[in-house]
Amino acid sequence: MTTLLWLRQDLRLHDQPALVAAAHQGAVIPVYILDDEAPGAWRIGGAQRWWLHHSLAALDKALRDHGSRLILRRGDAVAILNEMADSVEAEAIHAICHYEPWWRKAEATLGERLCLHDGNHLAPPEQVTTGAGGQFRIYSAFWKGLQAHLPPEKPLHAPDAIPAPDQWPGSDKLADWNLLPTKPDWSGGFDWTPGEDEARRKIAGLELDGYDDRRNLPSEEGTSRLSPHLHFGEISPRAVWHASSAHDVTFRKELAWRDFTDGVVLALPDYADKNGRAAFDKLPWRSGKAAENDLRAWQTGRTGYPIVDAGMRQLWQSGWMHNRVRMITASFLIKHLLIDWREGERWFWDCLVDADYGNNAVNWQWVAGTGIDANMFGRIMAPLSQSEKFDAGDYIREWVPELKDLPDDAIHDPDAGGCRPGGYPAKLIGHREARERALAAGRKVR
């Protein structure tokens, strides 16, 4: 008996319930399909493609070490899976559940020949529900509801061997997909090591002492840097959970946030495109040439606010940004520049190696105040004081080299220190002026 293993954002052998189930039935054909049509505007971005190339190469090697291999195809996932299943006479297609709207549509189309397994969550989103049976829309209530499903089950071991078919179907060559970006700043690649081995190495050495405080300090290596591995499913959330301890509550809450955001897009599939609160459809976002210039300055790290510019340059050069700085840069675009949050969401989608449909959308709407569980629009982060509060001086020096020689009392705001270098841009707008403009726009919503 032959089965297909449909891989998407679950590129691992350990704690892979779909793989374990398929291997129990007989020969397994693992297949990854690059489908750029089903997601529409949400086809994976440039940074994710870089990661995907290396992750697929690592997975193929791991499969070959287990007596198997990875089949690559490009095109309509549903059509390719049906055609392949017919040609090899596969009795089933095993896969892990996904919650992006295009994948849920594909899963429904495949019908009864598809056997779905949960494996990318601490608990299946359909099981963590309100008393009325719906998805939680407030994270604190979700966290409380999740407790009934914790701890998650222990991770499954990888199979010792994966049964191979008598004959393998044809496969594309990974290099022919041209996933590696050609943008000049990205041509050398990023300083990451994609793949399951690296993800498992990281959780084996997971160090969370002082995490509550250190995670907010951009100048320190205080975060786990597991997010892209989790996004591509190179490690499972429950494996990460069991690598932490009961004392690591903040870390575990952040891990659970990923489950929460999948529940949000399960209930609201178009959350990445529409305001969670319809009243914000009336908010007068800026448009026109001046707004376009400001957006470009934000994207390229030329706003005149050192902490913002450091974050945006880190994003472009590394495919990742520190979590605290993500909030600061997002708030700056939305509140200081009064530019639609969706512009920032799409920029992050293209530039982040860990860009996740639900997580990205929920986070942007939280900062914007437009979401179902969100900050108030009137809460405007002050980037200069945030930079000083979280001691971002060395972080700024690393990513904004024009400012590397400034003293500590001027690094957060060179203008206030009277020592802004000639090559560093002036502020796009003053903080007080930006705050007043944003509050005026917010009043039109109310």
18 residue type, one letter: A
364 is catalytic: yes
Describe the crossing of helices 101-110 and 77-88 by its angle, rounded to 10 degrees: 30
Give the pair of three-digit tokens for residue 64.
């070959």
Nearest to 115 by CA among 138, 90, 135, 133: 90
323 is catalytic: yes
254 is catalytic: yes
- The catalytic position among 83, 126, 153, 285 is 285
> Do 345 and 45 meet the contact criterion of CB atoms below 8 Å apart?
no
103 is catalytic: no
408 residue type, one letter: D
What lies within 8 Å, CB to CB, of 371 at 6+ separation is 271, 275, 276, 277, 362, 365
- The catalytic position among 82, 198, 257, 398 is 257
Partners of 28 in the β-ladder? 3
- The catalytic position among 6, 241, 341, 349 is 341
6 is catalytic: no
Residue indicated by tokens 């609201």 = 268
- The catalytic position among 126, 153, 254, 402 is 254
Give the pair of three-digit tokens for residue 105.
């549509």
Give the pair of three-digit tokens for residue 408.
């500590």
Nearest to 92 by CA among 71, 107, 77, 113: 113
DSSP 74-120: ES-HHHHHHHHHHHHT-SEEEEE---SHHHHHHHHHHGGGEEEE--S
- The catalytic position among 153, 323, 398, 402 is 323
- The catalytic position among 347, 364, 366, 399 is 364
For residue 132, give Cα distances in angstroms to 77, 129, 136, 141.
Answer: 35, 8, 10, 13
- The 10 Å Cβ neighbour count of residue 106 is 22
Question: Catalytic positions, please?
Answer: 254, 257, 285, 323, 341, 364
